[in-house]
Amino acid sequence: MKLNFNNFFVPHFKKKLAIMLSAIILMGIFLSFLIEIGWGSDPFSYMNLNIASLLGWTLGNWQLLLNAILLVITAVFAWNLIGFGTIANMVLIGYTADFCCFIWNKTSLHEFIQSSGTAVHVLVFIPAIAGFVVVASIYMNAQMGLSPFDAVAKILSLKIKKVPFFAVRMCYDLTTVAIGFAAAMISGTGFQPALIGSIVMSLSLGPAITAVGKFMNAHILNFED
């Protein structure tokens, strides 16, 4: 493992940092709405929500611990995938979601969503899950480093070269959902047993990352020196 910190200080650092931080904070906000609806979230959060519920932990604390473990794996096999985006993702998404859920619980928004019918849930769920997929794809293509979870998917894709990235990513995400579902079944009162959102994201994140990456490289990250 050769340590090289060039991947932390990339060209056009300030613009990419702003894009990355904005995307990650928005991921946490969109995630909080998905938690409120309870129809499922992104695969990693779905798994972590159920494991955290099983252990009696907050999402932020459990996600930070698991990310730290995955960070070690990433550092060993693909140090070049680590950057400021890695650290921001590890810390900000879980705690941003926790904070937003705390705010929603202290306001009438939580009560409104919980007491509303299916129509309101759909109106909140669709933009929340679509928004999460888009901003997650933006963050991953900002070239500021991947989260440990996303980095492991990239490492697997590099090892399985004959299979397209989007296919590897879909299988990876579906496996994560299965682990989360198992945790929900073990706990008996799993925090988020619904699978709709998690399956939707498992099938859409891979293609979305590829599509958003092409757009960003052509229109946003195509800097002229």
Using CA atoms, how far apart are residues 25 and 21, in angstroms rounded to an integer?
6
Residue 114 in tokens: 């919980």
Using CA atoms, how far apart are residues 70 and 110, in angstroms rounded to an integer?
33
- Residue 221's pLDDT is what? 64
The more confident residue out of 190 and 181 is 181
Residue 127 in tokens: 């933009």
pLDDT at 118 over 50: yes
Residue 182 in tokens: 């198992």
Using CA atoms, how far apart are residues 98 and 31, in angstroms rounded to an integer?
9
Q: Which amino acid is at 32?
A: S
pTM above 0.85, yes or no: no
Give the CB-side neighbour count of residue 14, counting CA atoms within 13 A: 0
pLDDT digits (tens, 9 = 90+) for 123-150: 998 899 889 888 888 888 888 888 899 8
Highest mean pLDDT among 9-13, 115-119, 196-200: 115-119
- Residue 124's pLDDT is what? 92
Instruction: For residue 10, count CB atoms less than 10 angstroms from its CB and return exposed for 0-12, middle for 13-18, buried for 19 or more.
Output: middle
Using CA atoms, how far apart are residues 84 and 57, in angstroms rounded to an integer?
26
The more confident residue out of 111 and 142 is 111
pLDDT digits (tens, 9 = 90+) for 64-77: 899 999 999 999 99
* Average pLDDT score over residue span 173-181: 89
Place of tokens 């932390």: 8
- Residue 105's pLDDT is what? 93
Q: What DSSP letter does each residue of 125-143 carry, written as one string? A: HHHHHHHHHHHHHHHHTSS
To 10 degrees, the CA torsion angle through 90, 96, 99, 105? -120
Supply the mean pLDDT for the chain: 84
Ramachandran assignment for 56, one of left (phi > 0), alpha (psi -120 to 50 degrees), beta (any other): left
The more confident residue out of 211 and 51 is 51
- Residue 94's pLDDT is what? 86
- Residue 3's pLDDT is what? 53
* Average pLDDT score over residue span 84-95: 88
pLDDT at 219 over 90: no
Those residues whose C-beta lies under 8 Å from the C-beta of residue 100, and which sit 6 or more positions away, are 28, 29, 32, 33
Cα dihedral sign, 139-67-148-15:
positive
